[in-house]
Amino acid sequence: MKTSVALCTYNGEKYLKEQLDSIINQTYKIDEIIVCDDQSTDNTLSILKEYDSLFPNLFQIYVNEQNLRSVKNFEKAISLCNNDIIFLSDQDDLWQENKVERIVSYFKNNPETNVISTNGCCLLNNEVDCSRISVWDIPNLLNEEKLKYSYFEIISSITNIATGATMAIRKNFVQQFSPIPVYKDFHHDEWIALVSSYTSSFSFYNEKLTYYRIHGDQQVGLNFFKLSIANLKALTAVYRKSKFSEYKRAIKVTINNYNKKKAILKSNTLKKEFVDILEKGLSVDLENINQLKRKSKKEFPFQYFLLTISNIFTNKRTINQ
């Protein structure tokens, strides 16, 4: 299998060289690196030109005529990739040297999979910490508890466990999620994961193959590793008997996800296949909201009554019609 990297840059001079080195020094070599720069004003382009001269025929560098921002920049970079497997890459992380080898092997052995995302470690102040908890640990938590779940349900109703920096895609699947809808705080990785899990072709690979850097300049992810097992249990309260506080949080999160899909449907002109995916997500979200409410009402009737009264005044848990 031939491989591509879709790398998006914007004022990434501080960490870009480390990221590029970790991509280039893989045990399974990358065949092309497509870079879409979103009008950087620092030394990002100089660094890219330096690497382009050091590794002829490996890089294709595009500079956007206008600032596209993350979602549309990644959409562009993905569309320009030519090879069988496309790895998405941020400009500031590090890859384990066997990341490409592991994921290509998984694709070869699992032909039904079109999209993979993986677990990862926290990279903070140049120190790697693989013990921190993140939403990437949700599948493993549910597996350890022997609870049944679907990736579509998790990604739609609970949270996006598929971070773009860890994601790889089959080239022949790209048209099935393009173009990516645009909505505030709705990212390309969540959409790709939602579409692929809807088609039962998403896989989560629990090995920690990416060092995900946390720093003050990043666009998203600053609070990514500030979670605990208790937080994950609250997010996944629909799957088990839980505390009232966990039901309460899960209801709020699921309603927020429901309302976001509603807003995407209203604010975008979408092809029918995409409407079907979002409507399926709405149906799953609503089913989970009702299940969480039933469970919390049955197990904690007084607290649930007070929460219902509170919601009338705060609108914190209101489903948009």
CB atoms within 10 A of CB 33: 25
* pLDDT at residue number 225: 86
In three-state form (DSSP H/G/I as H, E/B as E, the rest C), the secondary structure along 131-200 is CCECHHHHHHHHHHCCCCCCHHHHHHHHCCCCCHHHCEEEHHHHHHHCCCCCECCECHHHHHHHHHHHCC
The pLDDT tens digits for 216-275 are 776 555 567 889 999 999 999 999 999 999 999 999 999 999 999 999 999 888 999 999
Q: Which amino acid is at 9?
A: T
3-227: CATH topology:
Spore Coat Polysaccharide Biosynthesis Protein SpsA; Chain A (3.90.550)
d(CA 52, CA 42): 17
Whether the Cβ atoms of residue 236 and residue 274 lie closer than 8 Å to each other: no
For CA atoms 40, 177, 1, 139, give the dihedral sign: positive
pTM for the full predicted model: 0.95
What are 88's two structure tokens? 């998405």
Q: What is the pLDDT of residues 294-317, one digit of tens each?
A: 999 999 999 999 999 998 888 888
Mean pLDDT over residues 140-149, rounded? 97
Domain range summary for the chain, segments of one domain joined by +: 3-227, 237-314
Q: Nearest to residue 113, comparing CAs of 48, 54, 20, 201?
A: 201
Neighbours of 318 (CB within 10 A): 11
More confident residue, 220 or 73: 73
**Alpha-carbon span 231 to 226, nearest angstrom:** 9
* pLDDT value at residue 49: 98
CA distance 74 to 88: 8
Which pLDDT does position 315 carry in this prediction? 80
Alpha-carbon distance of 271 to 32, in angstroms, equals: 31
What is the pLDDT at residue 316? 81
**Gap between the terminal Cα atoms of the chain:** 46
